[in-house]
Structure formats: C-alpha cells, structure tokens
A and B are shown apart, each in its own frame.
Chain A
Amino acid sequence: MLRKRWRVLRYEKASAAFNMALDEAIAQAVAFRVAGPTIRFYGWEPAAVSIGRFQKLEEVVDLEGCKKLGVDVVRRSTGGGAVFHDKEITYSVICPEDLMPADINEAYREIGGWIVNALKLIGIEASFEPINDVMVDGKKISGSAQSRRKGVFMQHGTLLYDLDRAKMFSVLKVPKDKLESHSLGDPAERVTSVREQKKVPWEYAAAAMANAFIMNREWYPGDLTSDELARAEVIAKLRYGDRDWTFER
C-alpha cells in the first residue's frame, strides 16, 4: 500500500450510529497501518441530527420533533455544533496526521478549500470562513469537525445539497446566545444549499465533491475491508448507538 495513495470509497447511506462508527473504524485501521489515507462520501438513512462531543443534547436538539419525524440522533466523537443530516453530501477525510497541516485551523482551511473548489466546479462562488465553515453570500453551506488521535487525522463535514428549513428547525434548537451573537435575524436564513444556489442534479454536486477532493492526489477507488465493517458494527453498538453516550451531557 502506498502511504500517500488515497483510497476513495463509494457513496453509501447508513444509519447515524453506523456512519460515525465507520469513520472511527477507518481511523483505527489507518492508525494500525492496515489502511491508507481514505476519503469517504456518505449519506444518512434515516435522516439524523449529529451533535458535537461537548454539547448538551437537550439544549440543541428537539427530541420530540425528532421522534415525530423519525429523525435519528447521534453524538459525534468530534466537537462542533449540531447538524441536521438529510439532503446533503457528507464526507470524511482520514489519514496519517503528517499528511495534513499540523495547525488545526490550517487543516480546516485546507479541506474548506477543497469544498470551495467543488462548488466552483458547479458554478457556485463560495469562500472559507474560519473556524470551520464554507459560506455562499454570507450563508453557511458547509461545516466540518476535526479530530486527531493516535497520529491519525480525521475530519468529517457536510455539504448541504437541498434544504427543508421547516424540518431542519423542527429538530434543531438554536441556543439563545447563538441567536444574540449574530446580526442576521432568523437562523433559518443563515444557511443555504447547492440547490438554492444552482439547480444542478445531486449527482453533479457529488461528482464535483469527489473531483475536488482527489485533485492533485494519487488515488484509487477502494472498498471497506471486512475488518473495518466488523469493527464499525461493534463500535456502533457499544458507543454511538448507546443511550449513555448520546445523553452524556
């Protein structure tokens, strides 16, 4: 296995717990040097809310709303805020730490730049905004969260493809201090999507993401190993699907 040759996994949908567990299982495989740097694109079935590692669940998620709409809830291993995953393209980049900038903010900027490039490929002008957002006309279209463990860099994030604001804000609660810290009024108006900016099919947006992520990189279309899948099953059951983990804070 070439250390700098990226494995690109094909887009697949899975449950919230399995999605988070799979990112962790891949990170373990990279840490054990049985997998090389990996780029993964994925979706969520059913739709889900993921919350940051340090967030208080009941402050940021409307659990009743989630139940009513059949939306899953999962606590991520990474920091950051609550995200509603529905009509979007989620990515993860998992690699030895030395393939990414040592500085956390610089790494956010680097991958943020890949997303800006992806949007450019489909005719949308976007810009990276620190700490971890990609914006179009002052509205958020992509966010991400990063972790570094055992010499492995992992960043996952989303690109909003389409947006159902009513659904999004019936499962997310916006903390009061967040509302006060922004000059824009309605939180629903602070986000946008690919579809709102340009009427391109989902496949175009997905292809643009893939192209931007592999640009100037050696890569091959790869598969998950049976070991990664088995580990993910266990991690999903013991951690991300566990109520104690979800309600930790």
Chain B
Amino acid sequence: MAGGKTLALDPVCLDGEIVRIMMSGDFFFHPEEGLERLEIFLVEQKIWNADDPEGAIAKFMDDNKYRAVGFGPSDLAFLLRGLKC
C-alpha cells in the first residue's frame, strides 16, 4: 500500500456467507473507532458485489468524515474482490 503500509482482510464465514470482515495492518484510521463501523458497512452492504465498490467505500468514508492513511478505497476494493469463504 501507499507508504509501505500493510492492509489485510480476514473474512469470517457462516454457511458459505461472509458475516464479518476484520481489517488489520499498520495503517492509520481516523478516528480509530470508525474502523469497526467500516467493517460492518462492508458486510451489511456486501460491498464486494457492488457495481462500484471503490465509490461506495469513498462515499461512506466522506459521509462519516473518516480518513485512512496508508490505504485508499481502491486498495480496499481490490482486496474485497478477492475475498472468498
């Protein structure tokens, strides 16, 4: 990722469905507590199936005034596309 940061996604699956995503790495997220809300948003909206995952993530971040340093919506969208149970 930008600046040499890491971002990893770990899906939790139930009956072949993703029920939780845990994001981890040495990135920064402001405010820190917002990351959990982003993780919930990704699962609730099944963002990996969205027509424009990058746009949806960017809008969620903007609407909530969240700021990630070390990864961007496109990086997250890229990783989500590869998620499998």
Contact = CB atoms under 8 A, between A and B. Distances in A.
B22 interface: yes
Interface residues of B, number: 21
Interface stretch (A7-15, A35-43, A177-185): A177-185
Nearest to A249: B24
Nearest to A52: B26
B12 interface: no
Looking at B2, B22, B69, which has the most chain A CB atoms within 10 Å of its CB? Answer: B69
Interface string B25-52: 1111111100100000000000000000
A80 interface: yes
Given A104-B67, A178-B6, A80 B26 contact: yes
Interface of A: 52-56, 59-60, 77-82, 104-105, 130-132, 145-149, 175, 177-178, 181-182, 249
Given A54-B23, A249-B24, A175 B6 contact: yes
B4 interface: yes
Given A131-B5, A178-B4, A181-B4, A54 B31 contact: no
Contacts of B5: 131
A182 B6 CA distance: 12
Contacts, number: 64
Nearest to A181: B4
Given A79-B70, A131-B3, A249 B22 contact: yes
13 contacts: A52-B25, A54-B23, A54-B26, A55-B24, A55-B26, A59-B24, A79-B70, A130-B3, A131-B2, A131-B28, A131-B70, A147-B30, A148-B31
Given A131-B70, A249-B22, A54 B27 contact: yes
